[in-house]
Structure 1
């Protein structure tokens, strides 16, 4: 039985493989893909006993239909839809930081309007990440003075930014 099946498949291959391959090349535009289509078509013939039992001369239409369906299934597959070969990898998108640059320029200009004492406390607190105790120790002033300068410095900074139309 197995020898008969293998003999029937060989006869089917000998009579139809070249024609199916040409048809698959026509459909896919690629010889290596056509080889895969022919192989899968004959494998499906092997798995379908009624096809191997028929006269090999009468099965060409079935083989063409199977080959066409395999090509269609491949084109519809996620692999085919989501992969597209390119010559070079795409460029990485660079984040636009223009707004950040303008914001930093505006804040820098507003900071320049503060007194040196207020500016020193605000810059060290917000850009340096220091707390009031650390600022008092570094600047050699009382912690209450640091809090006062921070309060009035931020208030003056807000007014300067309001004048520039940044803050309401």
Structure 2
């Protein structure tokens, strides 16, 4: 009995499978493009997601033989299922991850508050230094002069510029530590 039932079931399964395949193909040919356009609009133009949704929609149609049999209601069913799949994706944790976008939501504005505070603290620390130390630091660090250029501008030997710069930086560090400023 099992041998008789087996081949009979296999034949019927092949017949159903072939007819389902033809019905699914006809359903896709008739509604596939419209469904694709609709799903692309639902997924904000994400073609990869739209392909996945359309494929899942037709897979569900294939699993539901009533849809394949009633072609008059198939279009509405397909669009409803696709919409629900997109909604379900948005609700799951998969959709809460970052999405790549070509558009920035807002322009980034750099915060210059810290720089302004640092500038004020360094200015206060510089005012505590001797005029010779202030002058050499102004030339070498703020104006970007080389040792030779600072030597000419200040009218002192290059070796003196080097030693004053060294001691001025040490004095500046002490002044900054006293103020509790820049780190």
Relative to the length of structure 2, the TM-score reads: 0.49
Indicate yes or no: 2:75 matched with 1:60.
no
Indicate yes or no: 2:165 matched with 1:150.
yes
Q: Name which of 131, 150, 155 aligns with 1:116.
A: 131
Question: Equivalent residue for 2:153?
Answer: 138
Comparing 134-143 with 91-100, greater Cα deviation is found at: 91-100
Q: Give, in whole Å, the separation in 1 of the partners of 2:105 and 2:113.
A: 23
Deviation above 6 Å: which 4+ runs of structure 1? none
Question: Equivalent residue for 2:9?
Answer: none
Comparing 99-108 with 66-75, greater Cα deviation is found at: 66-75
Comparing 90-99 with 114-123, greater Cα deviation is found at: 90-99
Q: Give, in whole Å, the separation in 1 of the partners of 2:182 and 2:75.
A: 74
Give how far 1:141 is off: 1.1
Root-mean-square deviation (CA), in Å? Answer: 3.8
* Cα distance per residue 1:9-50 (max 9 Å; x no partner): 9xx99xxxxxxxxxx9xxx8xxxxxxxxxxx9xxx9xxxxxx
CA distance 1:167–1:74, shift in 2 (3 Å): closer
Relative to the length of structure 1, the TM-score reads: 0.53
CA distance 1:73–1:110, shift in 2 (3 Å): same
For structure 2, which runs of at least 5 residues remain unmatched after alignment?
1-26, 32-37, 43-53, 59-67
Indicate yes or no: 2:121 matched with 1:106.
yes
Q: Aligned residues, how many?
A: 116
Q: Give, in whole Å, the separation in 2 of the partners of 1:65 and 1:59.
A: 10
